[in-house]
Each structure stands twice: as structure tokens, then as C-alpha cells.
């Protein structure tokens, strides 16, 4: 009994240490982004001037807009591709289905450096896609769609397909069935994948760095380029921006999932 209590105490301490280790850099970045210190590396009183500087900096605003556009397009196209692919992988029977299903994992497990350099060669030597928006967006779709496929496929496996049969039976064509029944049922999964894909695309550095070309600076690339001149407090504010967007996305995913499982448990108790 006593032994158990000691073990759980040790575990508790270790967990706290791990959390501190993981969180302290991010918390420091957020705290220092409000600090008056001109190197952004110690606390010298509260200020919002770095945020003002961030907003007035044309380069930052440019990079932020570019990142938002890329992430926005990527989210829409990736979830669309993901939904269609998952539906096909689940519903259709064809030769090589298992192979295709496994190979979709590749962009997730491949090292970003490999994917990035492969895409660069592909874009410049083989298909001649101009570097900039087109190349960045295509590259992001390549590594983001698999995520959507897997999230939506996972939902489909827990799906009661008799809903679809019932809709057909009640007179809805396959297209109408998807619109009125299957689609709405998949919406939570589609939303969840969108919420995860947005930060993925928004803070990707490695792959984007390879395919961005000259002049198409996204926010992560801008941050990297600024680090050559040493850390500035503006970087801290951008870091804060990244952390909060990602956290917001995760929070929304959590919320959607809670709403969803909430429905299920209520159904169970009735």
C-alpha cells in the first residue's frame, strides 16, 4: 500500500517535470512577447509595442497573409480530397485497395526533407509548376490530405451504414443520400480534420522552405530568416501567434469530439 503511494508520487513528480520541460519554452516566449526588454530575453515590464511593431511590419504582414491563404486553400482542398478518398477506400472494392490504403500513409511517415526535396525536383524538372503559391499549396495538400483520409476513414468504420440503406429505401438517390444523410454524419470528422490540417499547414517549415522559391516567404520562413540577426521581441510575438492558433485548433477539435461522444453516451443510457 505504502509502496504504491510512493510510486504514484514519483510518477506525479515526473509528469510535472515533463510538462514544465515541454511548456516552459512556449510560456517564456508568450511572457517575453509582452516584455519591455529590447532583446526579448528578460522581463522589464509590460508592453504591447512589439505587437504594434509586428502589425506595422510589412514583411510580417505579407508573410502572415501568405501563410493564411496557403493554409486556407490547403484545408478546403485537403478535406475535400480526404472525404472523397476515404469514401472510395471504404465503399468500393477494387484491386490494389489495400496497397493504396497503405501507400496513402507515406507522406505522413516520410521525413519532411525527403518529401520537400522530392517535390522540388518534381516541380522544377518534371512538371514545371512555378515556385510560389502553386508549388507551396500543392506541397501542403500532398502532406495534409492523408491526415483527412485517416480521420474520416476512422469515422466511417464506426458508421451505421444502415442509415444509408434506409435513405435509399425511402426514395433518396445515392447523391441525395450523401447530401442528406452520409455527409451530415461525416461532418464532425471533416471538421476535425480541417482543424488539425490548418495548424499543420500554417506552421510547416521544412517542406515549404524547399518549394517556396524566391520571394514567397511564409511566416515560418520569415521567422527563420530573422533569426540570422539574433532573437528579437517581434519573433516572440509571432511565436505567441503560432502557439495560440494551434491551441485554438486543438481546442475546437476537442470540443467537436466531446459534442459527438456526448450524443453517443446519451443514446447509450436511454
Cell numbers for 138:
500543392
CA separation for the pair 73, 86 (Å, rounded): 20
Closest CB 190 distance from another protein, rounded Å: 14
Closest CB 166 distance from another protein, rounded Å: 4
Q: Which of 30, 80, 172, 252 binds another protein (CB under 8 A)?
A: 172
Binding residues for another protein, total number by CB under 8 A: 22
Closest CB 175 distance from another protein, rounded Å: 11
Question: According to the binding rule CB under 8 A, does residue 171 interact with another protein?
Answer: yes
Classify 104 as helix, strand or coil: coil
User: How many other C-beta atoms lie within 10 A of the C-beta of residue 67?
Assistant: 25
Query: Residues 6 or more apart from 30 whose CB is under 8 A from it?
Result: 236, 239, 240, 243
If 0-12 CB within 10 Å is exposed, 13-18 middle and 19+ buried, where does residue 213 land? Answer: middle
8-state DSSP, 2: H
Site for another protein in 42-81 (CB under 8 A): none
**Cβ closer to another protein: 151 or 181?**
181
Question: According to the binding rule CB under 8 A, does residue 179 interact with another protein?
Answer: no
Question: According to the binding rule CB under 8 A, does residue 92 interact with another protein?
Answer: no
Question: According to the binding rule CB under 8 A, does residue 215 interact with another protein?
Answer: no
Residue (of 21, 24, 27, 45) closest to 35 by Cα position: 45
Closest CB 94 distance from another protein, rounded Å: 18
Q: Which of 36, 112, 185, 231 binds another protein (CB under 8 A)?
A: 185
Q: Which of 94, 170, 214, 229 binds another protein (CB under 8 A)?
A: 170
**Among the candidate windows 92-100, 121-129, 174-182, 215-223, which touches another protein by CB under 8 A?**
174-182
End-to-end, the C-alpha distance of the chain in Å comes to 39
Classify 169 as helix, strand or coil: helix
CA separation for the pair 164, 91 (Å, rounded): 12
Report the Cα 120 to chain-centroid distance in Å: 22
Q: Which of 184, 225, 258, 261 binds another protein (CB under 8 A)?
A: 184
Classify 46 as helix, strand or coil: strand
**Among the candidate windows 93-101, 111-119, 164-172, 251-259, which touches another protein by CB under 8 A?**
164-172
Closest CB 34 distance from another protein, rounded Å: 44
Cell numbers for 69:
491563404
Q: Which of 51, 133, 163, 224 binds another protein (CB under 8 A)?
A: 163
User: How many other C-beta atoms lie within 10 A of the C-beta of residue 126?
Assistant: 8
Closest CB 259 distance from another protein, rounded Å: 12
- Which residues of the chain form contacts with another protein (CB under 8 A)? 160, 162-163, 165-173, 176, 180-181, 184-185, 263-264, 266-267, 270
Amino acid at each position: 500500500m505504502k509502496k504504491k503511494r510512493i510510486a504514484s508520487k514519483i510518477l506525479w513528480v515526473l509528469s510535472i517535470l515533463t510538462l514544465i520541460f515541454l511548456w516552459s519554452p512556449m510560456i517564456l516566449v508568450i511572457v517575453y512577447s509582452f516584455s519591455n526588454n529590447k532583446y526579448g530575453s528578460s522581463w522589464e515590464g509590460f508592453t504591447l509595442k512589439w505587437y504594434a511593431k509586428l502589425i506595422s511590419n510589412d514583411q510580417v504582414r505579407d508573410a502572415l497573409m501568405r501563410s493564411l491563404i496557403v493554409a486556407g486553400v490547403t484545408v478546403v482542398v485537403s478535406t475535400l480530397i480526404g472525404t472523397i478518398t476515404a469514401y472510395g477506400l471504404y465503399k468500393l472494392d477494387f484491386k490494389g485497395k489495400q496497397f493504396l490504403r497503405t501507400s496513402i500513409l507515406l507522406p505522413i511517415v516520410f521525413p519532411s526533407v525527403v518529401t520537400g526535396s522530392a517535390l522540388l525536383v518534381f516541380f522544377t524538372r518534371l512538371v514545371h509548376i512555378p515556385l510560389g503559391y502553386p508549388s507551396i499549396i500543392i506541397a501542403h495538400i500532398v502532406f495534409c490530405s492523408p491526415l483527412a483520409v485517416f480521420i474520416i476513414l476512422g469515422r466511417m468504420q464506426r458508421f451505421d451504414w444502415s442509415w444509408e440503406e434506409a435513405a435509399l429505401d425511402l426514395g433518396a438517390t445515392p447523391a441525395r443520400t450523401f447530401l442528406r444523410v452520409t455527409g451530415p454524419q461525416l461532418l464532425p470528422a471533416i471538421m476535425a480534420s480541417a482543424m488539425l490540417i490548418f495548424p499543420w499547414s500554417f506552421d510547416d517549415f521544412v517542406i515549404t522552405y524547399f518549394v517556396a522559391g524566391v520571394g514567397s516567404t511564409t511566416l515560418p520562413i520569415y521567422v527563420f530568416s530573422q533569426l540570422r540577426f539574433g532573437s528579437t521581441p517581434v519573433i516572440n510575438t509571432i511565436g505567441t501567434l503560432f502557439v495560440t492558433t494551434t491551441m485554438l485548433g486543438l481546442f475546437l477539435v476537442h470540443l467537436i469530439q466531446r459534442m459527438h461522444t456526448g450524443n453517443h453516451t446519451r443514446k447509450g443510457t436511454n
